[in-house]
Amino acid sequence: MKPVRAGVVFLLCLTLASPASAKDAVYDCAGREKCVALTFDDGPHPTETEEILSILDEYGVKATFFLIGENAERWPELVEKEIRAGHEIGNHSYSHPDLSKADYETVCREIDEAERAVWENSEFRTRLFRPPGGCFGEAVVRAAKERDYTLVCWSVDTRDWAHTPTDQIVRNVMTNAEGGDILLFHDSIAGDTPTPQALRIILPRLIGEGYRFVTVSELLREE
């Protein structure tokens, strides 16, 4: 596993949530030459997700969307649209709590309710779980394993969630992205989002450099 670039919050979470460790989750698939996974957290969102889907379609890119269950219930048509477009859906909990501090029953409820929210509206069974903030402890590892989920974090944090200026996001990705990386973006951000503008710059540049975009599951299968 390569060290994480521009985003180490979850490493602090793990320090507080031992005995779980980084080995319990996937952060990248090092060695996948010119192959990266684009991921989006916290959606769906009625306007931001729509715009991002349009951009991805424009460049022929498939991504993995880690959905919050509450949002999937509010906008089920967007979940269906993501699936119809060939994107992958992941579980990002039902209400986005810090699960590193939650007991086992709470973790189970958050995962199960989010899975239900997606299934009831799309009949899609999620197999990937990304804990909010990348924070997890033993209860999350246990609950995910019992449900046949793969825990997925990231290796490049774009920090779009912090309203980082577009040029800094672009510089971060273009400087740090390597084959096998999992890139963290968000399709639901409070206030103005820099993500669509950053994607319009990053996608053609990485494609021009010969990179191929795959879903997280596809990245894992290429190991």
Q: Which of 24, 41, 42, 187 is catalytic?
A: 41
Contacts of 121 (CB under 8 A, 6+ apart): 72, 73, 76, 79, 80
Q: Which residues pair with 151 in a beta bridge?
A: 129
pLDDT for the residue 19 = 55
pLDDT for the residue 122 = 85
How far from 193 is each of 67, 81, 114, 171, CA to CA, in Å?
18, 21, 25, 17
Residue 186 designated active-site = yes
Q: Please report the domains of the chain, with CATH numbers, ordered by start residue.
A: 9-221 (3.20.20.370)
pLDDT for the residue 223 = 57
Predicted confidence (pLDDT) per residue in 178-192, tens digit: 999 999 999 999 999
Predicted confidence (pLDDT) per residue in 109-144, tens digit: 999 999 999 999 888 999 999 999 999 999 999 999
Confidence check: pLDDT of 3 > 90 = no
Residue 2 DSSP code: P
Mean pLDDT of 155-170: 97
pLDDT for the residue 8 = 41
The pLDDT-based confidence of 13 (bands split at 50, 70, 90) is low
pLDDT for the residue 88 = 97
Average pLDDT, the chain: 91
Q: Which of 45, 92, 96, 186 is catalytic?
A: 186
Comparing 16-20, 59-63, 172-176, which segment has the lowest mean pLDDT? 16-20
Report CA dihedral (93, 150, 204, 212) to the nearest 10 degrees: -160
The pLDDT-based confidence of 12 (bands split at 50, 70, 90) is very low
| Between residues 72 and 221, the one the model is more confident about | 72
| Between residues 16 and 36, the one the model is more confident about | 36
Contacts of 171 (CB under 8 A, 6+ apart): none
pLDDT for the residue 32 = 80
